[in-house]
Amino acid sequence: MWQAVTAYEETLREKHGRKQQASYTRRKIAAKGVLQTLTDWALDPKVTPGFEALVAANAAKFTGEYVVVEYADRFSAEAVQAAQSKLKAYGVEVTTS
């Protein structure tokens, strides 16, 4: 998960030309925990700016939705299906090992 946050912060650095923390994301993880944060992102019908930035940077494997699908056994079927739908809508294919 922290690799995903770091990847998003890198897209913010490129966008703003300086180091920029994903403060909202970090606060949400601290308050709700990693699994609940990922579940919330997956179930939200909207995508986050971080999702869009990572997909645009060819780093979709660092999106929360990708993590949910990749580790589907840790999430509800509803969350996994929602994450798969978002990824598919953006042309992202999940490859699991």
Q: Please indicate, yes or no, whether the overall pTM of this predicted structure exceeds 0.85.
A: no
Q: Give the integer Cα–Cα distance in Å for 81 and 16.
A: 34
Which value, to the nearest 10 degrees, does the dihedral of the CA atoms of residues 48, 53, 55, 57 take?
A: -170
The per-residue pLDDT for 8 is 72
Which residue is listed with tokens 């949400």? 28
Listed by start position, the domains of the chain span 2-89
Distance between CA atoms of residues 61 and 7, nearest Å: 10
pLDDT band of residue 42 (cuts 50, 70, 90) is very high
Mean pLDDT of 24-34: 88
Q: What pLDDT, on the 0 to 100 scale, is given for residue 73? A: 97
Q: Band of the pLDDT at 16, cuts 50, 70, 90? A: confident
CA dist 19 and 74 (Å) reads 32
Q: How much is the mean pLDDT over the chain?
A: 88
